[in-house]
Amino acid sequence: MTIKVLVAGATGKTGRLLVSELKDRGAIPIALVRKGSDTSVLPEGTEQRTGDLTRLHSGVCDGVDAVVFAAGSGGSTGPEMTDKVDREGAQRLVDLAKEAGVERFVMLSSVGADNPPEDHEMTHYLKAKQAADEHLQASGLTYSILRPVALTDDPKTDAVILGEGVDQQAKAHRADVAAVLAEAAVTDRHAGKVQEMQTA
């Protein structure tokens, strides 16, 4: 059976790499895109489904086997959009995935989301990610939560450190993050795990 994977954030820097990784693994990625998104960054022939994370409609997860949340409001938006996308959008997508009987939900989170610092420039964002992660863990869905350190656009290496031993000051290549997210979406290797990640 070919696995269908809905990707939220598919046109982002990590998302587009994830779509390619899923195709390479024989899965069918379905890009969740809002109207007006630049879909030219997606591999040719990628299936698309219209949806806006700030107002997701029921049924958006119908017919898929797994969902990956790899979206983000972006560093240039304010706290309100962070709440709408990174917290509420992610939580709503979890609820709709459960409603649709999706088998697996993979969350791209961030290092520090387990214990957000107070009075830091990333505090609001990390608290939003923490709330989304906790909502997923409480949902009853088979989940995988990946918390990479600072992301770079360097090429894929497959030299990945997960869980214990991650240096929080290190870097993670987006291509390596995409590979782990894809693996989590199509296999049980990361099921039920919350893991920090870096590129070695």
Catalytic site positions? 125
Q: What per-residue string of b and e applies to 48-83 under the rule 16 or more CB within 10 Å gives b?
A: ebebbbeebeeebbeebbbbbbbbbbeeeeeeebbb
Beta bridge partners of 5: 29, 66
Q: What per-residue string of b and e applies to 173-187 under the rule 16 or more CB within 10 Å gives b?
A: bbbbbbbbbbbbbbe
Q: How far apart are CA 29 and CA 21, in angstroms?
A: 9
Q: What is the DSSP letter of 158?
A: -
Ramachandran quadrant class, 165 (left: phi over 0; alpha: psi -120 to 50; beta: rest): left
